Amino acid sequence: MSERKKLALIAIGGNSIIKSGQRGTIEEQFQNIEETCRSIVQLVLRGYRVIVTHGNGPQVGAQLLRSELAAHQVYTHTLDVCVADTQGSMGYMIQNSLQRALDDNDRDDEVGSVVTQVVVDENDPAFKNPTKPVGPFYNEDEAKEKTEQLNWQMVEDAARGYRRVVPSPIPQEIVEARMIQAAVDDDIIVIAVGGGGVPVVRRDDRLFGIEAVIDKDRASSILAQSLKADLFIISTDAEKVCLNFKKPDQKELDRLTIEEANRYMKDGHFPPGNMGPKIEAVVNYMEAGGSHAIITTPENLGRAVDGGTGTHFVKE
């Protein structure tokens, strides 16, 4: 019987898809994704089975804007449907780019995308205190109109105007986990949990979509735990996790134990809107039985797995 290949789950961030300063055209997104996929293939060449998850912040914002601008001509989309839409379009781009990168390395691995639902608790405190900004900015009059007509909750950004905020509940369960596991067991490279997953709630054992967005790193951690992934990688815009980020005494970290990660989080080194959810996702994975996690940039995935860079999380 052949030895079981290790399973790596790679969560790619928005910088892998739309880079700072770009308009985010399809051509730009394809170019960026192709670069990331060449790095992902390096793990396949090292003998890993691979699952890819991804963020969708800019894309779901654009989808909401299209829905709003065309509301006088066509039906509008709810937020859960927008997430599903971007799972399909972005899954296609990643799938297509991965297949070409595999072809370039004389590999014939199959790649497939799964529209993934993620269960959240309808009583999660996030639904009473929405904090996650989505979509475009509005002036004061427009924001007031949206609040009155659509019952949106808006927050003010002093520099840019008003923006809609939606709940960001904690993910609890990946609905399609068994399907994803079956595909992985058949050596298919799977793209799943796009944008954190389509948010759904259980009512009388039935699933219903709900207006929310789920943090993709937290949802990716849940999937990594469910499938007992051997390696959990979060790809972001920093080659290594840092203490005192962007300060004169900034310090890059090559290795972190879970105890150290928890202590640094408590000390405020990892802000909620930046590195915080990533560290939390890694800690949750490790505490649930995971053995190894890495945070690094897309272009450094291969080197990081070989131990040459990135921040490596270990139990002791």
The answer, yes or no, to whether residue 184 has pLDDT greater than 80, is: yes
CA dihedral 33, 243, 315, 296 (to 10 degrees): 10
Tell me phi and psi for residue 152, to 5 degrees: -75, 150
- Interval 67-122: pLDDT, tens: 888 888 998 899 999 999 999 999 999 999 999 999 999 999 999 999 999 999 99
Q: What is the pLDDT of residue 2?
A: 54
- Interval 210-269: pLDDT, tens: 999 999 999 999 999 999 999 999 999 899 999 988 889 999 999 999 999 999 999 999
Among 195, 196, 216, 284, the active-site one is 216
More confident residue, 280 or 3: 280
**Complete domains list, the chain, with CATH:** 7-113+176-314 (3.40.1160.10)
Q: What is the pLDDT of residue 137?
A: 80
Among 14, 194, 195, 196, the active-site one is 14
Reply yes or no on whether 308 is catalytic: no
Q: How confident is the model at residue 1 (pLDDT cuts 50, 70, 90)?
A: very low
Tokens read off for 256:
């972190």
Q: What is the pLDDT of residue 128?
A: 92
The answer, yes or no, to whether residue 172 has pLDDT greater than 50, is: yes
Amino acid at 33: I
Q: How confident is the model at residue 181 (pLDDT cuts 50, 70, 90)?
A: very high
Q: What is the pLDDT of residue 76?
A: 87
Q: What is the pLDDT of residue 168?
A: 93
Reply yes or no on whether 246 is catalytic: no
Among 6, 15, 112, 209, the active-site one is 15
What residues does 207 pair with on adjacent strands?
Answer: 202
Burial class (CB in 10 A: 0-12, 13-18, 19+), 184: buried
- Interval 122-167: pLDDT, tens: 999 999 999 888 877 889 998 999 888 878 889 987 678 898 888 9
Reply yes or no on whether 128 is catalytic: no
Reply yes or no on whether 278 is catalytic: yes
Q: What are the start-end ranges of the E strands in the chain? A: 7-12, 49-54, 111-113, 117-119, 132-138, 153-157, 161-166, 173-174, 189-191, 198-203, 206-209, 231-235, 242-243, 251-252, 255-257, 293-296, 311-314
Among 57, 61, 240, 278, the active-site one is 278
- Interval 29-78: pLDDT, tens: 999 999 999 999 999 999 999 999 999 888 888 888 888 888 889 988 99
Q: How confident is the model at residue 15 (pLDDT cuts 50, 70, 90)?
A: low
Reply yes or no on whether 266 is catalytic: no
DSSP 10-59: EEE-GGGTS-TT----HHHHHHHHHHHHHHHHHHHHTT-EEEEEE--HHH
Among 132, 161, 262, 276, the active-site one is 132
Q: Residues 271-280: what's their mean pLDDT?
A: 88
